Amino acid sequence: MLSQDKLKRINELAKKKKNEGLTKEEAKEQSQLRSEYLASFRNSFKEQIEHTKVIDPEGNDVTPDKLKDIQKKNRTRD
């Protein structure tokens, strides 16, 4: 998870870029922060998917086999 300070800085740089433009150093910082943010987002999303169980309207577990295998490997599924 990205810290609140880094999220605040991302927003500050985006606003500055829109209003007046960024220096080379600020553009480099913005790029690096965005990369960190995307990596954090992808990791969180992956963890959420790996802990998901899909149930159909009749109550049957229809979780895809590929996901079941990942969950078994990570010991999040019986």
* 3-class SS string, the chain: CCCHHHHHHHHHHHHHHHHCCCCHHHHHHHHHHHHHHHHHHHHHHHHHHHCCCCECCCCCECCCHHHHHHHHHCCCCC
Q: Which fold has domain 4-73?
A: Helix Hairpins (1.10.287)
Grade residue 1 by pLDDT with cuts at 50, 70 and 90. Answer: confident
Tens digits of residue pLDDT in 24-56: 999 999 999 999 999 999 999 999 999 999 999
pTM of the model as a whole: 0.74
Question: What's the mean pLDDT in 9-36?
Answer: 97
